[in-house]
Structure formats: C-alpha cells, structure tokens
Amino acid sequence: MRDGLGPVRVRLRGGAVLAELTTRFGAAARAKVLAGEVVDADGAVIDAATVLPAGASVYLYRELPDEVPVPFDIPVLYRDADIVVVDKPHFLATMPRGRHVAQTALVRLRRELGLPELSPAHRLDRLTAGVLLLTARRESRGTYQTLFARGLVRKTYLARAAVDPALTLPRLVRSRIVKRRGHLQAVSEPGVPNAETLIELQDRNGLYRLTPRTGRTHQLRVHMASLGLPIAGDPLYPNVIDVPADDFSTPLRLLAQRIEFDDPRTGRRREFVSRRGLDAV
C-alpha cells in the first residue's frame, strides 16, 4: 500500500516484460520498469532483460490522474477492530474506478484513519450519500462482504422527487436491470426480474422511502424514473446531463439513510443511521 493505494496487477501475455508493458501502456510503463518500480509476484524487481511466461503477473503503482478535490468530510459513525461505518457525502465514489482514484471514500479513509487494509463491504453510487460500511482488517473482509452479497442487510433510502396523485403507492417495482460497460445509464430489459424495490411516499412534499430488496447498479434511480418520478438532481435519469467535474451545487437527492443486520461475528443486531439531511450537500 502506498498513500492509500495498492499496486495495479497486470497479467502478462508472455515474453519480454519491458516490451509488453511499453506496447500496452506506453512510455510511462517503460519508465517504471527502467526505474526499478515494477515487481513480479515474489517481489523481485523487473528489469529490461526480464522474460516471464503467459499468465504471470507483475505489479506497479499507477500514475494518479488530476482530480478535482471533493470538498466534503467523511464523518465516522462507528468504528471497532473489524468495521468502520461512515456517512459518505455526495459526489465521492466509494472506491477507485476510472477517473476517480484518490478522491474516493476508500483512499481518503485509508489515509485519514491509518488503515491500509480498509475495504468496502458494499458500494454506494458516487452521487448517493449516506451509510457506508467498510471492513478494517483483511480477516474480516469476506465475512461482511458475504453478508451484503447474500442480501442479509436491510437498507432504507430516502429520496426527493415529484408527486403524481394518480400513482398508487406504496408499490413494489420489479424489473430486469442491465448496466453495460461503457454506457452511463442502466436500462430495464424484458426478462426475468433481477431488481426489486418497495417505493413509499412519506409526505406530500415528495419525500419517498425506498427499500431495495436487491442491489443492482442504479436500481433506485432506474425504478423511480420508470414511474415518471426521477429523483431530484439526477444527471442520468431520465436524460443524461453533462455536469462539470467541479460543480457540487446540485446533489442527487438520494440518501442511504439506514442499514440493519445481525452481526456475523458477535450475533448482535446492528443498526446504523445517517446524520445527513436529505436536502443538504
């Protein structure tokens, strides 16, 4: 781990490592090899003469992209030897992906808390705020990730959207949601449903309680938009809106307000609640 980030693993096609990395990743990768900054699975330094078979792996640290700082704190709601629960702000991705690397909840928390083995047990969309649980130790990681993967965590979200008096609520929305690589939007397609959300109107001002029973990418946003009630501040649904990277003025009005589960290590009932207001950044 280096400043909150682990190395990138590259699986090789086989042959001279310097030539392959240069062909695949350009001059920056070549410079890393020549500077002795690339190692194999045993930690041996790769040099200009190193030849490795197909399927072997090498490790190097990526060059960080220029990122716009996300100007919001990440309050810790709870922390013990196994887990850290935080109140993630809007606009901050859960973990490194694409152009968001250092400005992610995972990397920032590793640095701020001094926990190099910190890892998310689940994910929240970059634009969604609220309760996020991370594991503090490698030994705890699988236990809590499995809890979320098996659907054993009850999640409650709050959202703001328009009100349609003709729409009967509460309503259980079920559909098949697919998110394809390279596409910003997830889409609903014909087929066996893989996403299910209970949608309830809490007040006449357009406050909704959303209870997902599955965890597909953008599920809540897709389901609300499918009812003609896109969540306020959503730049993707129903239409894609280009928002500058440094514009934090219009958050998505979606909050992961609460999670509840039986702790697999202690057997105790756990409940964590966001302290954020839905209408505040």
Which residues are part of the catalytic machinery?
Answer: 125
Amino acid 124 reads: L
Alpha-carbon distance of 54 to 57, in angstroms, equals 9
Structure tokens at 11: 């699986």
DSSP annotation of 192 reads S
End-to-end CA distance of the chain: 31
Instruction: Name the residue among 93, 219, 85 with its Cα closest to residue 157.
Output: 219
Query: 152 and 262 in contact (C-beta within 8 Å)?
Result: yes
Helix ranges restricted to H, the chain: 17-25, 27-34, 105-113, 138-149, 219-226
Instruction: Name the residue among 209, 234, 110 with its Cα closest to residue 155.
Output: 209
Alpha-carbon distance of 256 to 240, in angstroms, equals 23
Amino acid 100 reads: H
Q: How far is CA 216 from CA 62, 102, 174, 196, 229, in A?
A: 29, 25, 12, 9, 19
Tell how strand 187-189 and strand 51-52 pair up. Answer: unpaired
**Count of C-beta atoms within a 10 Å radius of residue 166:** 5
